[in-house]
Amino acid sequence: MFFFILRRLGQSLLVMAIVSAVSFSLFNFVGDPVNNMVGQDATREQRIEIRQQLGLDDPILSQYTRFLGNMVQGDFGLSYRIKRPVDDLILERLPATLELVFVSAVIALVVGITLGIYTGIRRGTWASRAILSVSLIGVSLPTFIIGIALIYLFAVHLRWLPSSGRSGTIDFGWWKTSLLTVDGWRAIILPAITLSLFQLTLILRLVRAEMLEVIQTDFIKFARARGLSERAVNFRHALRNTLVPVITIIGLNTGGLIAFSVITETVFQWPGTGLMFIQAVDFVDVPIMAAYLVFVALLFVVINLVVDILYFIVDPRIRLGG
Amino acid sequence: MQNTDKPMTRWQRFKDNDIVWSFFHSPGAVIAATIATVVILACIFAPLIAPFDPFDPAQISLWDGKLPPAWVDGGQPQYLLGTDNQGRDMLSTILYGGRLSILVGLAAVCLGMVLGVTLGVVSGYVGGVTDAVIMRIADVQLTIPGILLAILINGIGRVVLPLDMRDEFAVYVVVLAIGLTDWPQFARVTRGATLVEANKEYVQAARIIGLPGWLIMLRHILPNTLRPVLVIATIGLALAIIAEATLSFLGQGIPPTTPSLGTLIRVGNEYLFSGLWWITFFPAIALVVLVFAVNLLGDWMRDALNPKLR
């Protein structure tokens, strides 16, 4: 157990080292950092002074170690465009993204697992077939098209829900939540559904496939032969054994949700980190791009690590084999 | 036993091929292939089929802008699907846009495939440190979601280019960004297949007669790893088309002067609130149909190539 986690930890550190190297080279090779910090009419002396302040004339390796040191402390310098510390900007926008991701993950999980179990147990009914066909379409639909369609239907046509932005926020220190007011929920529901649909279909298909496979195994037949109720067989025995791959997918998909929040946030103008990233790419705001890259990689690494450890707890076979 | 007497003609061998057989015996695959072929052909031959040339200023008049589809009140019969904000015929723009989307998707998948398969075969055949390095890089890349990486590479690519060349080379930058993000899948699968093949007797035989390593990889191992690669390539094509559309929709991809489907949807989205639904709706439908058909093909191919399911 200990060595297993240690090895995973080593791999995670390697990932972070490579990602931080990429993000460091972004600073050095994309655009001229000095040009981005001073105006067009800065004098030669001012430029040289800033170069020295930033330590751009130091050897590349010492620049990298300094970058790493700052990174560990969450310091990515000032945004070129907004001239404010990048870590503040990210922290400010993080609650919006996390709430969006949280709500969509709940939707995807609850609806996905429920429909997955249903279509797995009651295969061949017309409802199962309909759900499966719709889910295939769901996989083919790009996120932004789902977003546009929902906006057109519920915001432009029916006028039930707002089409963009986040509203009804309540402050808790630095965390602004929109989950406590009706307005906030009205604003979050469309982006959350948009973001969840793709993951929902994935979870649905996975749970269904796993259920179909598990139901054919001997221990399920034996459970039936023992005369256990249908309910006990399906949920106590079958569902439990489908959970290992489902946990993996859920873990990896939380990362996917964060990635696709870039698209969803742009479609709905949701003021989260994804929208900030896209705007940063538009304006070549390197500090934000670099910080976001490191931030996402860190999230992924942590999630993967948690998933691996969960495996250990859920599946005794891995525990014994490892 | 009759086959041994008389050598089969090429056509017979083609008909007896298990993949071809399975194709003609699954209606879903035939329908998907038909839709995919029709859509892809229509897009590729856009200059011949399209009623207008959306890039010819002489054929565009702003007076005809924002016309609804022909069957709606106010529509004109020569513009079947209506016109966009600049007075371009929607049908023609979609055909040309779809053409660009397909070309970008194909080019990106080819780039990813060539890169991934090459690295995968080398990784599996050579092994050792080379293998470890290539696979670690693939692992690291797989931790970051593709679309984010594509946005990043694309953003960097555009910055590196001088201002006046950005629009001109935008297409190549997008191809590069998507191609560079999807190679790890190819590399992993090819490596797995190579590991299996490399221990088989025919490879050992080739080694014994003294063929150089690159020739063994190219002529003996590569052809035997291509089946699973084909499946990934089809699904990858759908994903690449979506990725291109997403980049363009986010305003990071192909510029509006030579629109792809994603660019068209982006432009149309700005007119959605004023009720001009057709400027977004038709390109979106075209994109969905295209991706859906390619996905169906991929689904069928995965089943057909998986001997367990047969």
pLDDT score at B129: 87
Interface test with B, best of A148, A157, A282, A305 (most B CBs within 10 A): A148
Chain A residues within an 8 Å CB radius of B246:
142-144, 263
B247, B253, B257, B263: CA torsion to nearest 10: 0
pLDDT score at A93: 85
Measured CA to CA, the distance from residue B113 to residue B33 in angstroms comes to 22
Chain A residues within an 8 Å CB radius of B148:
259, 262, 293, 296
* B176 lies in some domain: yes
Cα-Cα-Cα-Cα dihedral sign, residues A220, A225, A228, A230: positive
List pLDDT tens digits, range A282-300: 777 788 888 888 888 888 8
A214, A217, A219, A225: CA torsion to nearest 10: 110
B182: containing domain: 101-305
pLDDT score at A322: 42
Going along chain A from its start, the domains and CATH numbers come out as 86-285 (1.10.3720.10)
* B163 lies in some domain: yes
pLDDT score at B4: 47
* B28 lies in some domain: no
Q: List, as own/partner pairs, every contact residues B70-79 make where C-beta atoms lie below 8 angstroms and the sequence separation is at least 24, other chains included.
A: B78/B51
In the block, which residue shows the tokens 């170690």?
A65
Measured CA to CA, the distance from residue B197 to residue B124 in angstroms comes to 9
Chain B residues within an 8 Å CB radius of A139:
295
pLDDT score at A30: 66
Question: Is a pLDDT exceeding 80 seen at residue A163?
Answer: no
Which has the higher per-residue pLDDT, A123 or A41? A123
Report how many domains make up chain B. 1
Cα-Cα-Cα-Cα dihedral sign, residues B271, B275, B276, B277: positive
Q: How much is the CA Rg of chain A, to the nearest whole Å?
A: 24
Distance from CA of A138 to the nearest CA of B (A): 9
* B76 lies in some domain: no
pLDDT score at B108: 93
Which has the higher per-residue pLDDT, A100 or B271? A100
Interface test with A, best of B152, B154, B178, B272 (most A CBs within 10 A): B152
Q: How much is the CA Rg of chain B, to the nearest whole Å?
A: 23
A187, A189, A195, A201: CA torsion to nearest 10: -170
- For position B260, which CATH number holds? 1.10.3720.10
For chain A, the first-to-last Cα distance in angstroms comes to: 7
* B285 lies in some domain: yes
Distance from CA of A182 to the nearest CA of B (A): 24
Interchain CB contact of B250 with A (< 8 Å): yes
B302, two tokens = 């995965």
Residue A286's closest chain B neighbor by CA?
Answer: B156
Interchain CB contact of A143 with B (< 8 Å): yes
Each residue's pLDDT tens digit in chain B (310 positions)? 444 455 566 666 666 666 676 667 677 677 777 887 788 788 777 777 777 777 766 666 666 666 677 666 766 666 666 777 776 777 888 888 888 888 899 999 999 999 999 999 898 888 888 888 888 888 778 777 778 888 888 877 777 777 677 777 888 888 888 998 888 989 988 888 888 888 888 888 888 888 888 888 888 888 888 878 887 888 888 889 888 888 888 888 788 777 888 888 888 787 777 767 777 888 888 888 888 878 777 777 777 776 554 4
* B84 lies in some domain: no
For residue A171, list its beta bridge partners: A176
Interchain CB contact of B295 with A (< 8 Å): yes
Chain A residues within an 8 Å CB radius of B242:
142
Q: Which A residues, 235 through 274, put their C-beta within 8 Å of a C-beta on chain B?
A: 255-256, 258-260, 262-263, 266
* B7 lies in some domain: no
Question: Is a pLDDT exceeding 50 seen at residue A74?
Answer: yes
Across the interface, whether the CB atoms of B151 and A19 are under 8 A apart is answered: no
* B255 lies in some domain: yes
